[in-house]
Chain A
Amino acid sequence: MAGLTLRSVRKNFGEAEIIKSVDLDVEHGEFVVFVGPSGCGKSTLLRMLAGLENITEGSIAIDGRDVTGMLPLERGVAMVFQSYALYPHMSVEDNIGFGLKIAHVPRPERQQRVLEAARVLQLEPYLKRKPKALSGGQRQRVAIGRAIVKSPKIFLFDEPLSNLDAELRVQMRLEIAALHQRLGATMIYVTHDQVEAMTLADKIVVLRAGRIEQVGRPIDLYENPDNLFVAGFIGSPKMNFIAATVSSVADGKATIAAPTLGQAVLTVPLRRNTTRPGDEVTLGFRPEHSELAADGGFAGTVQVVEQLGSVSYVYAHAEGGAPVTIEQRRLSGLRPGEALRFTLETDRLFLFDKAGERL
C-alpha cells in the first residue's frame, strides 16, 4: 500500500495556477526529494501535504485514507521549516513538547517523549535553554525534535539546511539520512540543492512551473533524463547542450551533424523512433562523458579551467563556437587560450526534440 498518494492535485492562488495537476505515489518509508528551480511550486506542494495550504482540486491520501482538508495532526504529518520557526520564548524542552501539551498529553508522558526525542538528536544538555542560546545546527535539531516527538507517519522538510553554513550542512545532511534509516518513516524533503537531492533521496521528483517533469531514482534521473529540463537540472556542472540536425536514422540510432561543435558526425542511440532526417534537435552530453584526445573528435579553445583537485573542469569553445564543459581527471595542465581536442562517449549522448522531450 502506498504511503502517500496524490491524485490530480491542483492549487490556484487567485488566477495563477501554482500546482498543475500533480499525481504522485510515495511508498511507505521512502525518502522523496522535491527539487526544482525557485518558484516551481515545490514548497507550495509540501505545504499542501502539510495542510498549511488548502488544495483547489484533487485529493491527498495517506496510508490509503483520504486526508484532503484534514488538519496536520489528523493527517499524521509533521514539518520542519526552513527558518526553524522555533518559539523564541520557550525553552528547547517546551518547544519540542508544545504539540503534546496542546494535545493534553499528561506531563510525565510528555516529558518522557521529549527526552526520548532529545536523546535521538543529542539535545539533552540544552533542554532548558532558549532558542537564542543555541547554534544554527542545534536550532535545526530542535525543529526536527518537534517533528519527531509527534511520531508522524510522514516527515516534511522544507529546505531545512539552506540556512546553515556549508560544513554544518554536510553534517546535518548525514544526520537526516541517519535519522531516516533509524526511524524508517516516510520523509518528503524540499530542496534546490541537487547534492542534497542526489545523496538523500530514494526518489527524486523534479518540478517545474507547478508540474512534475520526472520522478525516479536519483541515478535514473541522472543517466536517463526524460527531457531537456531534467537533463539540465540534475548534474553539476550542467550537461552540455548543442544544437544539431538529424542527417539519417537507422537501427534505433540517429546520425547527426552539429556544426557549432565541429565537422565530425555523431551517432546517438534513440529511445523512441519518431525522429526524421532533417529534424532540428538538441544534443546533450555530460562533462564527464567527454575526453581530451590527441587527435580526432572535435577541436576547441580553452576559456577557463577550474581545478577542484580530484577533477578539473575545462570550459572551452568548440571550433564551431559552441561553449562546452569537459571534465578531466585530476589536475589539468591546460591554460586559457590553448587549443584542445576532445571526443565524446557516443553511447552516453542524449537527443532532445524541439519541445525538449528525449528522443
Chain B
Amino acid sequence: MQTSASPLSRTLANVFLIGAVLVALLPLALVALNAFKPHTAIVANPLSLPESLSLDNFARAWNGGKFSIGIVNSLLLSGTTTLITLAFASLAAFALARRKIPGWQLITIYFLCATTVPIQLFLFPLYFVYAKLGIVGNFAATSLILAAINLPISIFLLRAYVISIPQDVDDAAFMDGANPLQTFLHVILPLMRPGLITVAIIVFLNSWNEFLITSTFQKGRSNITMTLGYLSMNGTYATDQGALMAGAFILVAPIIVFFLLLQRFFISGMTSGAVKG
C-alpha cells in the first residue's frame, strides 16, 4: 500500500507503536517468565531468567485452581454466551438496519440506556428469580445473563456493519424471491462475517474474564469457571508466587489462542465486488 506520510512521521509512528506493544506485552512476558521459577527465585528477583523449564508450577496451579473443571465450564459458558449473543445481535442488527420498524429510535435509545445501567442493580432480583427457578449454577442460564449484558454493544456494532452492506444487495435478493429470513441467512449473514468475528472475540473475551455475574451465579465446586478457580488459589497459594504465575498463564492462554485463531478471518473488503467499487 502506498502511503503519503513522510519517513520521519512514519518512524515516529513506528516508535510509538513499538512502545505500545511493549507496554501491552511486557507484563504478559513477565508472567510467562516467572511461571517457570520457584517462589524464592521470584521474590529474590522477578526479572531473572528461569534456571530450568520446570512445569511443576503449572501442575500445582492446574490442581490448585481446579482448572480441569474450570476450563470446561469457562468454555461452555463463554461459548454459549458468544453463540446466544451472535444469534440475537445479528438478527436485531439486521432488523434495526434494514426493516422500517415503527419506533426504532425508541428501541435504539432503550439499548443505549441499557449499556449505561450498572449490572449490580439487576443482581439481586436476577438471583432471586434464578434461585426460584432452580437454575443457579446452570451455565446455560448464566450465559443468558452474560449475553444480555453484551447484547446492546454487539447490536450497535453489527448494525453499523449491516448498514455498510449496500441496500441494493437486499433488493436483489428480494427480486430473486427471497423472504427477509432467507435474505438474512443467505446474503446478509455471510457478508457480516468480519463483523460477527469481531463481536465474537469481544464477547468471548468479556465472558471469559467476567467475574461478578459468574461468581454470583456459578455456585458450587463443579460449576466454577477458570476465573473463579484462579481466585480460589489466592488464599492457599499466597506463598507460592510460581504457582500463581502459572495459574495466570493457564487462565489467559486459551483466550490468546482463540484470538490468534480468529484473527485470520479478519478479512477486509468482504463486500468488494457487490457493487461498483
Residues of A within 8 A of B (CB): 50-52, 71-73, 77-79, 81-89, 98-99, 102-103, 130-134, 136, 139, 146, 150, 163
With contact pairs A102-B182, A132-B273 given, residues A87 and B169 touching in the complex (Cβ less than 8 Å): yes
Given contacts A88-B191, A88-B273, contact A81 B182 (CB under 8 A): no
Shortest beta-carbon distance, A50 to chain B, in Å?
6
- CB–CB A132/B272 < 8 A: yes
User: A72 near B274 (CB under 8 angstroms)?
Assistant: no
**Across-interface contacts of B273 in A (CB, < 8 A):** 86, 88, 130-134, 139
10 closest A-B pairs by CB:
A132-B273, A83-B275, A99-B176, A131-B273, A85-B168, A85-B172, A163-B276, A88-B274, A73-B177, A88-B273
Q: Does B177 lie within 8 Å of A87, measured CB to CB?
A: no
CB of A52 within 8 A of CB of B171, answer: yes
Distance between A322 CB and nearest chain B CB, rounded to angstroms:
41
Q: Which residues of B contact A (CB under 8 A)?
A: 166, 168-169, 171-178, 182, 186-187, 190-191, 269-276
A77 and B173 alpha carbons, distance in the complex (Å): 13
CA distance A79 to B176 in the complex (A): 9
Question: Which chain A residues lie closer than 8 Å to B171 at the CB level?
Answer: 52, 79, 81, 85
- Residues of chain B within 8 A (CB-CB) of A98 are 173, 176, 178, 186
Q: Across the interface, which residues of B come within 8 angstroms of A103, CB to CB?
A: 177
* CA gap between A139 and B166 in the complex, in Å: 16
Contacts of B176 in A (CB 8 A): 98-99, 102, 146, 150
- Indicate the member of A72, A89, A103, A139 with the most B CB atoms within 10 Å: A89
CB of B177 within 8 A of CB of A85, answer no
Q: Are A99 and B274 in contact (CB under 8 A)?
A: no
Residue of B nearest to A94 (CB): B186
Is the CB–CB distance between A89 and B174 below 8 Å? no
Shortest distance between the CB of A99 and any CB in chain B (Å) = 4
Closest to B277 in A: A132
- A78 and B168 alpha carbons, distance in the complex (Å): 14
Known contacts A84-B275, A134-B273, A139-B273: does B178 contact A89 (CB below 8 Å)? no
**Chain B hits for A73, CB < 8 A:** 177
The answer to whether B174 and A72 have CB atoms under 8 Å apart is yes
Residue of A with least CB distance to B183: A102
Contact B172 A50 (CB under 8 A): no
Which residue of A50, A88, A99 has the most chain B CB atoms within 10 A of its CB atom? A88
A50-B175, A98-B186 known; A88-B272 Cβ under 8 A = yes
Bound form: Cα–Cα A52–B183 in Å:
14
A243 to B138, CA, bound (A): 86
Query: How close is B31's CB to chain A, nearest CB, in angstroms?
Result: 41
Q: Decide if B166 touches A85 in the complex (CB within 8 Å).
A: yes
- Nearest CB in chain A: distance from B152 CB, A: 28
Residues of B near A133 (CB, < 8 A) are 273
Which residues does chain B contribute within 8 Å of A79, judged by CB atoms?
171-172, 175
Max count, chain A CB within 10 A of own CB: residue among B176, B187, B191: B176
Task: Provide 27 A-B residue pairs closer than 8 Å at the C-beta atoms, listed in order of the A residue.
Answer: A52-B171, A52-B174, A52-B175, A72-B175, A79-B172, A83-B168, A83-B276, A85-B166, A85-B169, A85-B274, A85-B275, A86-B273, A86-B275, A87-B169, A87-B172, A87-B173, A88-B169, A88-B270, A89-B190, A89-B191, A99-B176, A99-B177, A102-B176, A103-B177, A131-B274, A132-B272, A163-B276
In the bound assembly, the distance between CA atoms of A146 and B176 in angstroms comes to 8
In the complex, chain B residues whose CB is within 8 Å of the CB of A86: 169, 172, 273-275
Q: How far is the CA of A238 from the CA of B16 in the complex (A)?
A: 60
Known A85-B166, A87-B187, A88-B191: A102·B177 in contact at CB below 8 Å: yes
Which of B168, B178, B271, B272 is in CB contact (< 8 Å) with A102?
Answer: B178
Q: Are A88 and B271 in contact (CB under 8 A)?
A: yes
Instruction: Provide the residues of chain B in CB contact with A87, threshold 8 Å.
Output: 169, 172-173, 186-187, 274
Least CB separation from A143: chain B residue: B172
Max chain A C-beta neighbours (<10 A), residue from B182, B191, B274: B274
| Residues A146 and B172 in contact in the complex (CB < 8 Å), given A83-B166, A89-B191, A131-B273 | yes
Q: Give complex CA distance A86, B271 in Å.
A: 10
Is the CB–CB distance between B177 and A71 below 8 Å?
yes
Nearest-neighbor residue (CB-CB) of B273 within chain A = A132
Residue of A nearest to B276 (CB): A163
Question: Which residues does chain B contribute within 8 Å of A51, judged by CB atoms?
Answer: 174-175
Kindly state the separation between the CA atoms of A163 and B166 in the bound complex, as whole angstroms.
Answer: 15
The closest CB in chain B to the CB of A52 belongs to: B171
B187 contacts which chain A residues (CB < 8 A)? 87
Known: A52-B175, A98-B173, A146-B176. 19 other contacts (CB 8 A): A71-B177, A72-B174, A79-B172, A81-B171, A83-B276, A85-B169, A86-B169, A86-B172, A86-B273, A87-B169, A87-B186, A88-B191, A88-B271, A88-B272, A88-B273, A88-B274, A98-B176, A133-B273, A136-B276
Residues of A within 8 A of B274 (CB): 83-88, 131
CA distance A133 to B269 in the complex (A): 13
- Select from chain A the residue with minimum beta-carbon distance to B191: A89
Min CB gap B60→A, angstroms: 49
Residues of B close to A89: CB separation below 8 A: 190-191, 270
B169 nearest in chain A by CB position: A85
Q: Report chain B residues within 8 Å CB of A82.
A: 168
- Which of chain A's residues have a CB closer than 8 A to the CB of B182? 102
Distance in angstroms between the alpha carbons of A78 and B274 in the assembled complex: 18
Closest partner residue, chain A, to B189 (CB atom): A89
Residue from A72, A81, A83 having most chain B Cβ neighbours under 10 A: A83
